[in-house]
Structure 1
């Protein structure tokens, strides 16, 4: 960085590669919460660097990604697959479909972590093999080998989904486009643990949020469309509290399974369940009609109506 104004060089680089660097950091961190702090530290670290740092790097861009990687590893040394899987990803409306979303999920989670990072840097962040080798500390020959094997794996996977002529660069680029803003993920101000899912949001690669129904003390309820069954709507409930520990997740799913095992006409059954931003969600059938609460508040219930409604539940 021998220019008379090094900060100008850094600013130009960060303007050009800001989105890619932020996405790369989010993928390494497993979330966007720490991104503002880390990105500020990245800018500061690059600003404090000098020509000696750049002399060892193939390019200023590779130096920026290497610095970002170092900062991310200091914050999140080992990123669990569960944390990576729970990231919110940008949608690609022009290509989005349940099958395409499933393919992207398979690419993200099916590749081993080192190969996934190398393919991300090559195709999604547009680094050369030499630059990637510098960023991750691997020889160019190792990088080339990983790119070749990873590319072949993605090709075969895409073909198994029915793609005749897969575009690996496009697939990998779409696979590693996480949301880089906590606001985009839908946090409700003043209620850090509750999520607000906007209409059009996709949950579980299958359910598209249509409208918000209510927010309770434990879950938020939404009316959602089932993209696997066009025209079919469900009730989607999302727990407020995030859960990342494997044992805690197993406990929640076990409770859900126990309730689902009850054979009673008044107990609704689960159609599907999964994890969204570390929160358990589950889908149940949507029954058209009016909520009992609204009926009671509007005119109350006669004794006969109360028996007709609550009698079957008490059996």
Structure 2
């Protein structure tokens, strides 16, 4: 047996932090969050050389037809949106039977972290609320399909 490490090995080998080193052609750089549908990683697209948000459906849900349908519905809903206050969907795919979404990586501090430090100045709070409302209004026709 040779000492060469294959992409398959990198996909299944967990880093010291507990997430895979690679998923397909995406190098996993960090964990952004976990939700009801899956895990979101900060990743680098090795083909295009850009950082992205990679949302992978949870392994325990990957085999469930209903969850796969919800995941595909989410992908269609996000791809139909084109709004400055809604993240862009770049691609969808599957690696070794596990579906994923490739989305724009949003930069900046999460609003919750900022609010944990205290209230926002009124002008800034109104600006942020207006931006959020415009993004939600753009997503409203899609209902709950993009809420995860």
Q: Is the TM value for this pair above 0.5?
A: yes
| Superposition map of 1:125-204 within 5 A | 184=12, 196-198=18-20, 201-203=21-23
For 2:47, the equivalent position in structure 1 comes to 228
Residues of 1 paired with 2:39 and 2:79: CA distance? 19
Maintained 8 Å contact 2:55/2:100: yes
5+ residue gaps in structure 2? Answer: 135-148
Residues of 2 paired with 1:227 and 1:305: CA distance? 37
Relative to structure 1, the CA distance from residue 223 to residue 251 in structure 2 (aligned partners, 3 Å threshold; closer, same or farther) is closer
Could you say what secondary structure the match of 1:213 adopts?
strand
Could you say what secondary structure the match of 1:306 adopts?
helix
For 1:238, the equivalent position in structure 2 comes to 56
Shift of residue 208 of structure 1?
Answer: 0.7
The 4+ residue runs of structure 1 with deviation greater than 4 A are: 245-248
Shift of residue 283 of structure 1?
Answer: 1.5
2:71 to 252, 255, 261: 252
Shift of residue 314 of structure 1?
Answer: 1.3
Shift of residue 263 of structure 1?
Answer: 2.9
Shift of residue 248 of structure 1?
Answer: 5.3
For 1:211, the equivalent position in structure 2 comes to 30
Relative to structure 1, the CA distance from residue 248 to residue 296 in structure 2 (aligned partners, 3 Å threshold; closer, same or farther) is closer
5+ residue gaps in structure 1? Answer: 1-18, 20-89, 97-177, 187-195
Compute the RMSD of aligned alpha carbons: 2.8
Maintained 8 Å contact 1:269/1:284: yes
Q: TM-score, normalised by structure 1?
A: 0.35
Higher Rg: 1
Q: TM-score, normalised by structure 2?
A: 0.67
Going by fraction, where is strand more abundant, 1 or 2? 2
Could you say what secondary structure the match of 2:29 adopts?
strand
